[in-house]
Amino acid sequence: MRELGSLRCLAIDAYDLVGDLPRGPARLAAWNAYVLQTYADKLIAADESDGCVPRETATLAAAAYKLAGHYLERARQLASEPTALGLPKLPDALPHWHTPIRSQKQLVGMRETLEALRIHVAYDLACLPAGGPTAGMKAGLAAIDAKLESVDQLWIARPPDEIRGGIGTALTTGLDAAYALGKLLADPA
């Protein structure tokens, strides 16, 4: 847990930076850091018990924190030098689980992440300058809402593996959709 604490600090500033930067490549990198940081934080908060986090959750959270740190560094570089060339290529997707069935606590962390990202992209859509959101952006938000609705319909107290698998799939798809929509909003060009 101590190692996760030090990794968490790599990109903690992503929560503020994403809203401070103008739309463009630096904000896109900050969005990526924000999503990864949020995901790892929510997973750990949901799955931590007596100072311990299950290995599978810790592995995914550590990967997210490390990648968030790289993206935050990229955001800072691009904010200070917008024409920076030669920056290393970073993975452009959320880390995913290696097995299809999530624990109930992992599902809670995923759900809380999706809800937080949904709020962020909905607000960002409402704040778009002249011209406003495109039909594709509105459809992206509707797709996220549909995944949350699916999760709500499947959510029960002690779901069997089949239902947890369905919830996990809906959450993963929703998280990917929110991530993609946020990237489009951060850098519409």
Each residue of 45-61: pLDDT tens digit?
999 999 899 999 999 99
Residue 27 pLDDT > 70: yes
- The pTM (predicted TM-score) of the whole model is 0.93
Question: Where in the chain are the domains?
Answer: 2-186
Average pLDDT on 76-103 reads 84
Instruction: For residue 169, give the nearest of 112, 92, 111 by alpha carbon.
Output: 111
pLDDT tens profile 148-159? 999 999 999 999
Q: How far is CA 131 from the centre of its chain?
A: 26
Q: Which helix (H) or strand (E) holds 42?
A: helix 25-47
- Please tell me the least confidently modeled range out of 22-36, 129-143, 154-168: 129-143
Instruction: For residue 129, give the nearest of 23, 4, 9, 20 by alpha carbon.
Output: 23
What pLDDT does residue 2 have? 66
